[in-house]
Chains A and B, each alone.
Chain A
Amino acid sequence: MSKQINVALIGNPNTGKTSVFNALTGLNQKVGNYPGITVEKKEGICKLPRGVKAHIIDLPGTYSLNASSLDENVVIELLLNKTDKDYPDVAVVVSDVENLKRNLLLFTQIKDLQIPTILVINMSDRMEYKGISLDIPYLEQQLKTKIALISTRKNKGINKLKELIASHKELSVEACLDASIIDTTYFNNLRKAFPHQLLYKLWLVITQDVNFGKTDRKTYDAVEDFKTKSKTDLKRLQQKETIKRYQFINETLKKGQTIDLKSAKDLRIKLDRILTHKVWGYLIFGVILLTIFQAIYDWSSIPMDFIDNSFASLSEWTKDTLPEGAFTNLLAEGIISGLGGVVIFIPQIAFLFLFISILEESGYMSRVVFLMDRIMRRFGLSGKSVVPLISGTACAIPAIMATRNIESWKERLITILVTPFTTCAARLPVYLIIIALVIPEGRVFGLSYQALTLMLLYLIGFGAAVGSAWILNKVLKIKSKSFFVVEMPNYKLPLLKNVALTVLEKTKAFVFGAGKIILAISIVLWFLASYGPGDSFNNAERIVTEQYASDNLTEEELNQKIESHKLEHSFIGIAGHAIEPVIRPLGYDWKIGIAIVSSFAAREVFVGTLATIYSVGSDEEETIKNRMAGEVNPVLGGPLFNFASGISLLLFYAFAMQCMSTLAIVKRETNSWKWPMYQLLIMSGFAYIVALIAYQVLK
């Protein structure tokens, strides 16, 4: 068996930590979750010199070991728990050459934990540009570490880093400063009370609000001859500790780093003058949003048509090629049609994540936070709520997780509650197919009506989010300290590798996640639609033949009558008819009713369900859209999907809480069932009323 060592990547946000991770692991990485919590866990494998293999974990970005969020807790919990299977043999602290001073704070804390540590100074390609020079041997000596000066952008220094990780046994585990001098008596007492524990580890456990399992803070309080301090005193000591660390860092950098300001050029100032401008800033943001929506609609329509047609042909081909029977029908009508409903929106999700990751990578997203904070605050939100609200256009689940960096609990809760109103990618297939059916083609000012309708739906979603936030802000009586800090990172040209990996990984997660649900539901639906109870289903052929005996129908017409009679008396048809009275006032028939009920699991199931229901019994190769266009309203005649019922459906999906996964995430993030239940009742109730009014007015 080859040796495998554990490596933890740690660093401040915006230091290019993920780029280092990508450079080390390439495609040998996987993304999962830490057990029991929704924090993303990225890990990968890297081959090192001399046959050593490294298991690399990319820990969430943090400014220090004083955790203030769930993500940051993960870092501390791992570093304090030597029995964890991922406990690092070596810690790699990633820093940015332009923010070395601030980045070193975390570094000195990790050194105090006596973990072998390598310091990576990233973005070395910017040094000349910024007039920075470093005395590496001096810094290595002062910081008691080995330094890898690298540039992930120019792909330099990665081999040196691999070499350093491979020879991790030579690293010093000595701390670079003694933090205990901030209160000698206190720390001496601590040392006496727990002689076998690492002093800095004790200090961290005492000051954090984290649960460390066996090393719980309360067990320390219980020891008799040791008295801990009050919260305010502890905070004052933490502040002292921070100052102490900065003193050490300042002294070290005074000799180890020189910055020639004259040769430094600053693109940031020029760009910020425009991008954060009171007028231009907002205009540019608006144009960017508009471009994204137009692009998603126009660019992705080509691959989507292709996918739709391919799946229709595949289903047809399966029926023709395989021997006739229940299994072939299940495959062709249930599974393939259902899967087509997922695969079809890969292009759009990919485009959305592409744009979002470019905005994040470039540093522009922080400017949006800055611009929007004041406006968002009026609605009880934070500038940081903009990121979840924009990410919500991809999927509410990562968006709700992205609220964790909102410091005020009230602002965060409101953001969580209103984010599901934003138009997520799962609503897109529903919107697209209905828009294509009921909104006429044609253009105004070069923008198509259909694209404008889509844009309007996004605005409605965003408006509903902001409007309900405003109401929640008035209604919720929560007192919480509001405070707001956002780092404004340097502008960077997004790295193609990072963007590509994000798009690939997010799309994969989405398709496999949704795919499982959709596949399962498709199969169940197919069974329910293909079998039925009692006489009227099983003897459909005889009943229909007798009924139309005098009408002189061709064989084909007769077969169609039989199939639709069967569908109506299948299990699904019976269920559909049962709920029909509730949805009839909204302009829907029982088939749409089934699609709505089954899409409660996830919105995108809607199209897949209709595809499954409509393809049961149909022999012709047809796209989902054509089948839907051919549906006739059983009561009024005319197309079932007309302007009134179409708009009603669009509005229903805009507001309704049709996503079990989102409810589950909200439960986890708010730690109670109360909030997701409110969400479900209020959003879906509102959706029903709006859809009802729309249909009754327009019909």
Chain B
Amino acid sequence: MTLAELKRGQKGVITDVSSIHIPLKLLEMGCLPGNSVELVQVAPFADPMYLNINGTHLAIRKETAVHIIIETIHE
């Protein structure tokens, strides 16, 4: 599934990142395969998404999140 489908409070692991659509800056901030991701908060209409990626807190738009593939983890 893609990151855009993650629900609030859910956690996952990034498995693939489409490098054409994802800017280098986002990768440098930790959005890389193998790193954990959690949806902290969503704005109205679930966009943008406030994420915790590998300890870095950042917000991205849904249109970017669809290019990040994840697997959810259940605790």
**Per a CB cutoff under 8 Å, which of A238, A273, A278, A487 touches B44?**
A278
Beta-carbon contact of B48 and A374 below 8 Å:
yes
- Evaluate contact between A373 and B25: CB separation under 8 angstroms: no
Q: Which of A97-105, A115-123, A174-182, A567-575 contacts B (4 or more CB under 8 A)?
A: A97-105
Asked whether A693 is an interface residue with its Cβ less than 8 Å from the other chain, the reply is no
B60 within 8 A of A: yes
Interface residues of A in 351-375 (CB under 8 A from B): 366, 369-371, 373-374
Residues of A contacting B30 in the complex (Cβ-Cβ under 8 angstroms): 101-102, 246
> Is there an interface contact between B43 and A373, defined as CB atoms closer than 8 Å?
yes
- Note all chain B residues with C-beta closer than 8 A to A112: none
Nearest CB on B from A76, distance (A): 14
Cα A487 to Cα B60 with chains together (Å): 9
1/0 contact string of A362-390 vs chain B (CB within 8 Å): 00001001110110000000010000000
- Once the chains bind, are A242 and B58 in contact (CB under 8 Å)? no
Contacts of B47 in A (CB 8 A): 373-374
Partner of B43, one of A268, A276, A482, A489: A276
Option from B19, B43, B55, B60 in Cβ contact (under 8 Å) with A99: B55
- Distance to closest chain B CB from A260 (angstroms): 14
- Which residues does chain A contribute within 8 Å of B72, judged by CB atoms? none
Kindly state whether residue B27 has any CB partner on chain A within 8 Å: yes
Query: Are A487 and B61 neighbours in the complex by a CB distance under 8 Å?
Result: no
- Whether, in the assembled complex, B59 has its beta carbon less than 8 Å from a beta carbon of chain A, the answer is yes
Residue B5 is within 8 A (CB to CB) of chain A in the complex: no
Q: A373 near B24 (CB under 8 angstroms)?
A: no
A483 contacts the other chain (CB 8 A): yes
Q: A276-B43, A483-B61 are in contact. Are A102 and B56 (CB under 8 A)?
A: yes
A371 closest partner in B (C-beta):
B43
Interface centre among B20, B30, B57 (most CB of A within 10 A): B57
With contact pairs A236-B19, A239-B27, A486-B58 given, residues A272 and B44 touching in the complex (Cβ less than 8 Å): no
Report chain A residues within 8 Å CB of B25: 63-64, 66, 68, 485
- In the complex formed, the residue of B with least CB distance to A281 is B43
Confirm or deny: B66 has a beta carbon within 8 angstroms of a beta carbon on chain A: no
Instruction: Give A371 to B54 CA distance when docked, in angstroms.
Output: 23
Q: Interface residues of B, CB < 8 Å — how many?
A: 30
Chain B 31-75 against A: per-residue CB contact (8 Å), 1 yes, 0 no?
Answer: 011000000110111011010001111111101100000000000
- Which A residues are CB-close (under 8 A) to B50? 272, 276, 370, 488
Are A485 and B43 touching (Cβ within 8 A)?
A: no
Residues of A within 8 A of B63 (CB): 482-483
B66 CB to closest chain A CB, in angstroms?
12
Residues of A within 8 A of B55 (CB): 98-99, 101-102
- Interface: B1 (CB within 8 A): no
Q: Which residue of A lies closest to B47 (CB)?
A: A374
Residue from A269, A373, A490 in contact with B48 in the complex, judged by beta carbons closer than 8 Å:
A373
Q: Which of B27, B28, B33, B64 has the most CB of A within 10 A?
A: B28
Indicate if the CB atoms of A276 and B41 lie closer than 8 Å: yes
Q: Which residues of B contact A64 (CB under 8 A)?
A: 24-25, 28
CB pair B26–A485 under 8 Å, yes or no, is yes
Shortest CB distance A65–B (Å)? 10
- Would A239 and B19 be within 8 Å (CB), given that A370-B59, A374-B43, A485-B29 are in contact? yes
Would A483 and B23 count as touching, CB distance under 8 A? yes
Which residues from B are CB-within-8-Å of A482? 61, 63
User: Known contacts being A99-B55, A102-B55, is A374 close to B45, with CB within 8 Å?
Assistant: yes
Contact in complex: B44, A485 (CB < 8 Å): no
CB atoms of A407 and B23 under 8 A apart? yes
Contacts of A486 in B (CB 8 A): 48, 58-60
Contacts A64-B28, A102-B30, A407-B23 hold; do A374 and B44 have CB atoms under 8 A apart?
A: yes
Does A272 contact B27, Cβ atoms closer than 8 Å?
no
Q: In chain B, what residue has the closest Cβ to A64?
A: B28
Complex Cα distance, B24 from A68, in Å, reads: 9
Determine the chain B residues whose CB is within 8 A of the CB of A63 once the complex forms: 25, 28-29
> Residues of B contacting A238 with CB < 8 Å?
24
- Say whether B32 contacts A487, CB under 8 Å: no
Q: Which residues of A contact B41 (CB under 8 A)?
A: 272-273, 276, 370
Query: Which residues of A sit under 8 angstroms from B27, Cβ to Cβ?
Result: 239, 242
Of B26, B28, B40, B45, which contacts A105 at CB under 8 A? Answer: B28
**A243 adjacent to chain B (CB < 8 Å):** yes
- A488 and B58 in contact (CB under 8 A), knowing A101-B30, A373-B48, A374-B45? yes
**Contacts A383-B48, A484-B61, A485-B23; is A370 near B56 (CB within 8 Å)?**
no
Interface core residue of B20, B23, B29, B41 (most chain A CB under 10 Å): B41
A101 to B29, alpha carbons, bound, how many Å?
10
Q: Which of A226-255 contact B (CB under 8 A)?
A: 232, 235-236, 238-239, 242-243, 246
CA distance A482 to B23 in the complex (A): 10
Contact for A488 among B28, B45, B57, CB less than 8 A? B57
Residue from B19, B29, B45, B59 within 8 A of A102 (CB atoms): B29
Residue contact A487 to B40, C-beta cutoff 8 Å:
no
Q: For residue B46, which residue of chain A has the nearest CB?
A: A374
Say whether A370 contacts B48, CB under 8 Å. yes
Contacting pair A485 B60 (CB below 8 A): yes
- In Å, the complex CA distance between A235 and B44 comes to 34
CA A94 to CA B63, docked complex, whole Å? 33
Q: A102-B55, A238-B24, A239-B27 are in contact. Are A484 and B48 (CB under 8 A)?
A: yes
Separation of A68 and B63 alpha carbons in the complex (Å): 20
Q: How far is the CA of A483 from the CA of B48 in the complex (A)?
A: 11
B59's partner among A101, A235, A369 (CB-CB below 8 A) is: A369
Say whether A246 contacts B60, CB under 8 Å. no
How many angstroms from the CA of A66 to the CA of B23 in the assembled complex? 11
Other A-B pairs beyond A383-B59, A484-B64, A485-B59, 6, CB < 8 Å: A64-B28, A68-B25, A102-B28, A370-B41, A483-B61, A489-B57
Q: Which residues of A contact B (CB under 8 A)?
A: 63-64, 66, 68, 98-99, 101-102, 105, 232, 235-236, 238-239, 242-243, 246, 268-269, 272-273, 276, 278, 366, 369-371, 373-374, 383, 407, 482-490
5 smallest A-B Cβ distances: which pairs? A488-B57, A64-B28, A370-B59, A484-B61, A486-B59
Name 24 A/B residue pairs within 8 A (Cβ), A-sorted.
A64-B24, A66-B25, A99-B55, A101-B54, A102-B28, A102-B29, A102-B55, A102-B56, A239-B24, A242-B24, A242-B32, A246-B30, A276-B50, A369-B59, A370-B48, A371-B43, A373-B47, A407-B23, A483-B61, A485-B29, A486-B58, A487-B56, A488-B59, A490-B57
